[in-house]
Structure 1
Amino acid sequence: MSLVNFRDPAVLADPTGGSIRPGVLLRSAQPFPAADEAVVAQLREHGVTTIVDLRGEAECRAEDWAAAEAAGIEVLACRIEPSSDELAAAMRTMTTAEDLGAFYLLMAQSAPEGLAAAVEAVVRPGGVLVHCAAGKDRTGLLVALLLELVGVSAEEIVADYARTNEAIREIWAGLADRNRAALNEVEAGRLVVPAPLLEAPAGAMSAFLELVRAEHGGAAGFLAACGVPGATLDAFRAKALMDTTAGVTA
């Protein structure tokens, strides 16, 4: 089974391919139920040589990427785990898309090491696939930061994020099947997921980007605050951006 919610954000942000290189940064949900030959073929077709797994340790299974690793694709764990008291409180009071955007900022701020490791991984040679569980929240905030870093407009970043809605039923079906045993242990009426988390509302990503700009001046400032060296930010720009000066003479 191919990866769900799989796409190249550059295709939407720069459809002509004039400024952003396609195949540099790809995104998806986790494999359902585990990577197989079809997934490996999909990754090879898109030139993926590295997978960045943003999930927490408890979310992972040894078999998830075994087939990809056997095919020579490296899998790196860059944990972004929403487990702090502050995040739990934000979950309990979440009712709007803007609340979800604020939650994204808290989640990113709570895992600077994981976020920094993910950015370091993305500058490796070859295509890099970034994923979490749904490929929506943790993946969404990381991809948004990287796209802003190379000058993609807020409107295009929000549009890419919202495309997850096209796969949302398939995502939740896969997650429900994978976690059926755990869900069966929850008493009726006790499992409550905030409504904004069940979708990819455009307002959530808009709010996240606005907060990042207000508090850090943009993606570069935020990632620097997470410990990402300036040289790494420059390396990603060099990898992702086309050399528009090629062939230009004085």
Structure 2
Amino acid sequence: MSLVNFRDPAVLSDPEGRRIRPGVLYRSAQPFPAADEATVAQLRTCDIRTVVDLRDTRETDPADWAAAEAAGIAVIAAPVNPATDGLTERLRTMVTAADLGDYYVLLAESAPAAVAAAVEAAARPGAVLLHCAAGKDRTGLLTALLLDLLDVPADRIVADYARTAEALPQIFAGLAERHRTALNDRTRVTDSQGRELSIPAPLLQAPAEAMSVFLDRVRTRHGGAAAFLPTCGVRAETLGAFRAKAAIPA
């Protein structure tokens, strides 16, 4: 089955082709139910040689990318746990789209090793695919950081993020099928201690304001992606390699 919520952010975030090369960076939801021949064909058509899986280990299954790995496509685990204690408290108090944007900041700050691993993978030769479960939250913030690194305007990054709203019904159907007990009504999730939580409404959407707030907070708190990523352990050589691979020279 082809990947859901699959796209090249360059198409919407840089349609004039001034900042980011097309065919370098892709994003999607996780494979439903697992990667198969059609998924591998989709990856090969786009020259995707590396898949970055941002899901926590509790969300993954060895079969998810087995077909891709058998075809020689590298799968890099960069797990981001969205239900640590600090993040769980933020989930409990989340009401608005702006709250979701603040949650994204905490999510990125809580997982420096995963952020660094994802950027390292993105700098590898060939195209790279970033994905989490829905391809919205963790995938969205990593994609946003990479686009910001290439000086893509914030409003274009926001527009690419918000496009996920079109795929949410299909995403939720896939997640409900895979996690039938936990997600069948799309309203319950558990934290790291197994405590049941209600999913806040903004987390079930892809509101433009959330990404706008995320980018603004990263800029005001950290000086933008170019300053934030080194604090996560991303080496200067890696940033240079990704820019050389993905940026269109001025």
> For residue 218 of structure 2, what is the amino acid of its counterpart?
V
CA RMSD of aligned residues (A): 1.8
State which structure, 1 or 2, has the greater radius of gyration over its C-alpha atoms: 1
Q: Please name the residue that 1:226 is paired with.
A: 232
Question: 1:211-230 CA deviation, whole Å, 9 max, x = no partner?
Answer: 00110110111111111112
| Counterparts of residues 97-112 of structure 1 (less than 5 Å) | 97-112=97-112
Distance of 1:116 and 1:51 partners within structure 2:
15
Distance of 1:115 and 1:191 partners within structure 2:
26
**Contact 2:187-2:198 at 8 Å conserved across structures:** no
Q: Please name the residue that 1:247 is paired with.
A: none
Q: What secondary structure is seen at the aligned counterpart in 1 of 2:248? A: coil
2:248 is aligned, of 223, 242, 247, to: 242
Q: Please name the residue that 1:40 is paired with.
A: 40
Structure 2: runs of 5+ lacking an equivalent: 189-195
Distance of 2:208 and 2:70 partners within structure 1:
38
Distance of 1:174 and 1:34 partners within structure 2:
11
* Residue 16 (structure 1) shift: 3.3
Aligned residue pairs, count:
243
> For residue 10 of structure 2, what is the amino acid of its counterpart?
A
* Residue 158 (structure 1) shift: 0.1
* Residue 187 (structure 1) shift: 11
* Residue 5 (structure 1) shift: 0.2
Q: Please name the residue that 1:53 is paired with.
A: 53
Question: 1:189-211 CA deviation, whole Å, 9 max, x = no partner?
Answer: x6621000001000000000010
Distance of 1:26 and 1:191 partners within structure 2:
31
Q: Please name the residue that 2:193 is paired with.
A: none
Distance of 1:62 and 1:84 partners within structure 2:
23
* Residue 84 (structure 1) shift: 2.0
TM-score by length of 1: 0.93
Relative to 1, partners in 2 of residues 1:69 and 1:187: Cα closer, same or farther, differing over 3 Å?
A: closer
TM-score by length of 2: 0.93
Structure 1: runs of 5+ lacking an equivalent: 245-250
Question: 1:77-103 CA deviation, whole Å, 9 max, x = no partner?
Answer: 011112321100000000000000000
